[in-house]
Amino acid sequence: MNKQRLTPKLTMLALLLAGTVVAAQTTATGTINATLVHKGGIALVFNTDPAGVVLGNPGTAAASVNLGTVSAFGPLSAGVTRPTVTPASYTVQTFFDVNVLVGGGNSPNYTLAASLAAPAPTGFTYGVDTLTLTTTSQTIQTNAAYGTDVPHSLNLTISTAAPGAGGPAVGTPLPTTINFTATAN
């Protein structure tokens, strides 16, 4: 056979076989049946109140507040007030907002409760609004509205008694954790 005639025939044969190989590839299809169970829920976040201290980590459920250096007399940090001073104690206060969001539920409102994670150090009393906090959860507010910033006050009452006589240690930072719980009504 002539090489000139054989080359086009081999090229044509290679093209035909290539098409057959491509056409002979197998494919598979499949489906996944997914099931979604939608449940309602609520989320609690803390926001900075315009009248209060700027919160650390606002817009989350793990915010912090720094009252700065406090005393019965003298200047206080921005957003901190001193509503009472007596011979036995003084109180410093700031405001913060609680916003509880609801999704997929039919609850009309919520109840807010709070407690100290551990007993308050000697000479200190913590409160939210008019409630004095302990390690037992206590209701702060019932029938609170969802989706709105609800202002609350954080109050710290400090004894003026001397250390060792019921008063607090002076000059020591005071870390305290307050646990808040929002429960759908």
Q: What is the pTM of this model?
A: 0.78
Task: Indicate the residue type of 136.
Answer: T
Residue 4's pLDDT band (cuts 50, 70, 90): low
The enclosing domain of 152 has a CATH number of: 2.60.40
Is 130 a domain residue?
yes
Residues 9-54: pLDDT tens digits? 544 444 445 554 555 567 777 767 776 665 678 999 999 999 999 9
Q: How many domains does the chain have?
A: 1
Is 29 a domain residue?
no
Three-point CA angle 115, 119, 124, nearest 5°: 100
CA distance 124 to 114: 17
Is 170 a domain residue?
yes
Exposed / middle / buried, residue 112 (Cβ in 10 Å: 0-12, 13-18, 19+): buried
DSSP designation for 72 = S
Write down the pLDDT at residue 24. Answer: 54
- Pinpoint the alpha helices (H) of 25-139: none
CA distance 134 to 138: 8
Is 11 a domain residue?
no
Residues 85-141: pLDDT tens digits? 999 999 999 999 999 999 877 889 999 999 999 999 999 999 999 999 999 999 999
**Domain extent for 82:** 41-184
Query: Among candidates 57, 55, 79, which has minimal Cα distance to 65?
Result: 55
Is 31 a domain residue?
no
Is 14 a domain residue?
no
Is 113 a domain residue?
yes
Is 23 a domain residue?
no
